Amino acid sequence: MQAEKKPASVTLGPHECVRVWAVPNGRFVRSLPVHERAVAVAVAHASQRLLVATQRSVHVFSVSGRPLAVVSPDRGVGRIVPTIDGELALLSEGSALAVRRISDLQLLHRYDLEAGGAASGAPLRAFSLSAENHHAFAGTADGGLTIYANPVVGIQVLERLASELLNL
d(C-alpha 71, C-alpha 107), whole Å: 10
Q: Is the pLDDT of residue 68 over 80?
A: yes
Name the maximum alpha-carbon separation found in the chain.
Answer: 56
| Mean pLDDT of the chain, nearest integer | 78
So where are the chain's domains?
8-166
Torsion sign over Cα 106, 112, 115, 116: positive
Phi, psi dihedrals of residue 20, rounded to the nearest 5°: -110, 130
How confident is the model at residue 105, as a pLDDT? Answer: 94
How confident is the model at residue 132, as a pLDDT? Answer: 76
Query: What CATH topology corresponds to 8-166?
Result: Methylamine Dehydrogenase; Chain H (2.130.10)
Q: Which residue has the higher pLDDT, 140 or 6?
A: 140
Q: Is the pLDDT of residue 81 over 60?
A: yes
Q: Which residue has the higher pLDDT, 12 or 153?
A: 153
**Percent of the chain with pLDDT strictly greater than 70:** 78
d(C-alpha 58, C-alpha 9), whole Å: 19
Q: Which residue has the higher pLDDT, 112 or 161?
A: 112
> For 8-67, what is each residue's pLDDT tens digit?
555 554 556 778 787 788 888 888 888 788 888 888 888 889 999 888 889 999 888 899
How confident is the model at residue 3, as a pLDDT? Answer: 47
Q: Is the pLDDT of residue 71 over 90?
A: yes
How confident is the model at residue 152, as a pLDDT? Answer: 57
Q: Is the pLDDT of residue 135 over 60?
A: yes
